[in-house]
């Protein structure tokens, strides 16, 4: 009798643990309108702007726009551009945001190489931050993955922003 109770208890424990240990919900973004793809690490990311023939941009939101927002943009650059110069051009546009404070720029490597640039600003009275990944596809093309969100929220999903950027690849 003791063995049966122990077996039932073990099965119930396994079911309870299994209910909380849900496997990752990775999905791959790919669309015929764009020449890139990437892996979305969690089902909480929802596409809000779908690429089309006229606009190759895609946007995702992590739950709420203030928790995390991703915009993917393709930028054409001069052939011999230095990544630091490309980041500096973007920073010039960002500096007009309320409360803008420049952050660090570091090298970044995934399927594509490039740089990551961090900054902070104020929006709607909230402390916000940005983490932009500049990924060089070829000599004249850089993809910019623009992640923004509330400072603490964006920090908490940094492993996901890094994961999306590491898996970002050009098709073909």
At 28-51, the pLDDT tens digits run 999 999 999 999 999 999 999 999
When pLDDT is averaged across residues 130-140 and rounded to a whole number, the result is: 97
In a domain, 1, yes or no: no
- pLDDT over 60 (residue 1): no
pTM, two decimal places: 0.84
In a domain, 100, yes or no: yes
Residue 13 or residue 111, greater confidence: 111
**Domains of the chain: total:** 1
Specify the pLDDT at position 148: 98
When pLDDT is averaged across residues 107-124 and rounded to a whole number, the result is: 96
Q: What is the rounded CA–CA span in Å between residue 162 and residue 165?
A: 5
Q: What are phi and psi of 129, to 5 degrees?
A: -145, 160
Percent of the chain with pLDDT over 90: 80
In a domain, 4, yes or no: no
- pLDDT over 90 (residue 25): no
- pLDDT over 70 (residue 167): yes
Q: Which domain holds residue 136?
A: 24-170
Band (pLDDT 50/70/90 cuts) for residue 24 is low
In a domain, 10, yes or no: no
**Strands annotated E in the chain:** 27-30, 36-40, 45-49, 58-62, 69-76, 101-109, 113-123, 126-138, 141-150, 169-170
Find the CATH number of the domain harbouring 51.
3.40.1000.10
Q: How far is CA 107 from CA 76, 82, 103, in A?
A: 20, 12, 14
């Amino acid at each position: 009798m003791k063995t049966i109770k122990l077996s039932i208890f073990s099965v119930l424990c396994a079911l309870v643990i299994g209910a909380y240990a849900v496997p990752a919900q990775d999905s791959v973004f790919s669309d015929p309108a764009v020449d890139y793809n990437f892996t979305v690490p969690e089902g909480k990311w929802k596409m809000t702007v779908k690429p089309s023939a006229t606009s190759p941009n895609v946007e995702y939101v992590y739950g709420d726009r203030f928790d995390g927002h991703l915009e993917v943009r393709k930028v054409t650059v001069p052939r011999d551009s230095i990544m630091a110069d490309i980041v500096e051009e973007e920073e010039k546009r960002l500096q007009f945001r309320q409360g803008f404070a420049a952050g660090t720029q570091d090298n970044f490597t995934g399927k594509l190489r490039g740089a990551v640039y961090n900054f902070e600003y104020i929006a709607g009275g909230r402390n916000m931050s940005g983490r932009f990944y500049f990924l060089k596809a070829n000599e004249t093309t850089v993809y910019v993955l623009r992640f923004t969100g509330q400072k603490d929220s964006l920090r908490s999903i940094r492993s996901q922003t890094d994961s999306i950027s590491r898996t970002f690849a050009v098709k073909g």
